[in-house]
Structure 1
Amino acid sequence: MLENIAYFILGRHPNNTCFSYNWHAIRHVRRFLKERVPNSPEKLNIADIGGGAAPYYELFRSVAGQYTVVDLELSDLPPSRKSAITQLIGSAEDIPIESNSVELVICNQVLEHVNVPAKVLSEIFRILRPGGLFLGSVPHVSPIHLEPFDFWRFTELGVDKVLKESGFSNVYVEGSGGVFSTAAFIMAMDLFLSKRIEGLPQRFHHVMSVLLSPFVGIVNLTALLADKLVGNRLRTPANLCWSAQKPDVGNK
């Protein structure tokens, strides 16, 4: 019952409300992806690496021919997605998809959790067809989460570097706002996740999320306004999104 109340107030990922701790980061991811849905007359083979229950599928439904989610375990999909999505069990560092077989790869909030990010990017490059599009996101600033598998943080310069070193071209990296939005995000997230205790997984405090939701909403909206008034200095985004392409050998 309490969990349902929390979902009603906070929204369901990725349609979070301003009362949610990760509103600033996820609204950026959702907007970034929505703006880059390919305008394709043909249906695309899409791979969502580490996609879980495919929360961003609805954004790509109109262009998706085959939509495949690869993750370490199967997730319960909403009824509306079950017939449209193929789920494969596999690692992002060893993706069980044929080379040069997909036109679009999505990889959101995954690279910070893998052992070797460069290996994941190499695998994504392998499965993309020449000219294929790669969309993704990763935290720049974030509390530790999903322990014990939270290993890395990235800068805009770092994302650009590893993507280009992996062979991608037309790389574009975008941060998620200013320092006030980032401060609001990390404060709320730190409050809503359980205290970090070695050997115990994180838990989400549904009671606290409901009780503090008015406060979080005020802080989030105030931070958004403060960023607009002061200006985004582009130094401390909470989140980074990118687009990149596998070079089309036919155009070289």
Structure 2
Amino acid sequence: MISLGRLFLPRGLHERMQVDRYPILRFIRTEAIPLMKAGMKVLDAGSGRLPEQTLRAEILATGAELHTLDFCAGEGVDFVGDVTAMPFEANSYDHVLSTQVLEHVQDPAAVCAEMARVLKPGGHLFLTTPQSSPIHNEPWNFFNFTHYGLTLLFEKAGLSVVKKEAQGGHFALLAFMLHWTVRVIQGKDLPKILKVPLILGSKFIFGFCLKIILLWLDQWDKEPTNTLGWNFHGQKPRK
């Protein structure tokens, strides 16, 4: 189905309305990209193919050298491999990115340890992952994480937690779940005469009207426990 927001909203507002993506993009833009400089090496671990590499141009604009690794070959994937056993020497990268990957691996602790291994001393890991998310990319969707669990994984990998932030609060999560109604309806075997109006109505009500109200309310959820997920910034100790 066509995205109504992409058709009618300014690009910046449409991006802001993507409640499951915007907090991640903002986190990488504010926490990671400002630390990237010319000559640095950056690894996007579990990058996906080129259309999924949303911030690729912004990272390359810093002058840093970007390498991408994914389990599946495709356009924009430099290295094909498993994030539990990456084909890189220890202490190779200044920064490692891992956005919405950890929930899809069978051994999250091994992945965190592996990302810590390839980081240079003093290097930074920027990791995002869900706490509350519908099942997706089946059957490769194994875990959701609390910030307590992520802190434990980082500490076991020898990384200090520089910053952790929620991907929105209760109202942002509610906005996402209500908008998910569109996908639920799309997956049902309903008569077309009923299905199309239900989808369009849900997009307008849940994907726009209520979403604006809920995102406005979300600013007052200062310490959320009910959140879409978590953004973590970790650092490898300097020797």
**TM-score after normalising by structure 1:** 0.79
Choose from 22, 27, 30 the match for 1:35.
30
Match of 2:42 in 1: 46
Match of 2:101 in 1: 110
Aligned to 1:25, the other structure's residue is in SS state coil
Matches within 5 A, 1:120-139: 120-139=111-130
Matches within 5 A, 1:11-90: 17=14, 23-36=18-31, 37-39=33-35, 41-52=37-48, 53=50, 54-77=53-76, 87-90=78-81
Asked whether the equivalents of residues 18 and 221 of structure 1 are also in contact (C-alpha less than 8 Å), the reply is no
User: Number of residue pairs matched?
Assistant: 226
Match of 2:228 in 1: 238
Asked whether the equivalents of residues 121 and 163 of structure 1 are also in contact (C-alpha less than 8 Å), the reply is yes
Asked whether the equivalents of residues 45 and 64 of structure 1 are also in contact (C-alpha less than 8 Å), the reply is no
Q: Alpha-carbon deviations, 1:67-120, whole Å to 9, x = none?
A: 11111112334xxxxxxxx61111111112221111110000000000000111
Q: Which whole-Å CA distance do the structure 2 matches of 1:131 and 1:98 have between them?
A: 16
**1:169 corresponds to which letter in structure 2?**
S
**2:56 corresponds to which letter in structure 1?**
Y
Aligned to 1:248, the other structure's residue is in SS state coil
Q: Which whole-Å CA distance do the structure 1 matches of 2:119 and 2:99 have between them?
A: 16
**1:26 corresponds to which letter in structure 2?**
R
Q: Which whole-Å CA distance do the structure 2 matches of 1:206 and 1:68 have between them?
A: 42
Q: Give unmatched runs, 5+ long, in structure 2.
A: 189-194
Per-residue deviation, 1:209 = 6.5
CA RMSD of aligned residues (A): 2.9
Q: Alpha-carbon deviations, 1:157-213, whole Å to 9, x = none?
A: 1111111111001432100222111011123235326659xxxxxxxx999766643
Q: Which whole-Å CA distance do the structure 2 matches of 1:46 and 1:184 have between them?
A: 33
Identity of aligned residues (%): 23
Seen in structure 2, the aligned counterparts of structure 1 residues 41 and 177 have a Cα distance that, compared at 3 Å, is closer
Seen in structure 2, the aligned counterparts of structure 1 residues 40 and 176 have a Cα distance that, compared at 3 Å, is closer
Alignment pair present for 1:213 and 2:211: no
Aligned to 1:63, the other structure's residue is in SS state coil
Aligned to 2:158, the other structure's residue is in SS state coil
Per-residue deviation, 1:6 = 6.0
Alignment pair present for 1:157 and 2:148: yes
Aligned to 1:38, the other structure's residue is in SS state helix
Per-residue deviation, 1:42 = 3.4
Match of 2:192 in 1: none
Q: Which whole-Å CA distance do the structure 2 matches of 1:206 and 1:71 have between them?
A: 36
Aligned to 1:106, the other structure's residue is in SS state strand
Q: Which whole-Å CA distance do the structure 1 matches of 2:203 and 2:122 have between them?
A: 44
Per-residue deviation, 1:61 = 1.9
Seen in structure 2, the aligned counterparts of structure 1 residues 42 and 126 have a Cα distance that, compared at 3 Å, is same
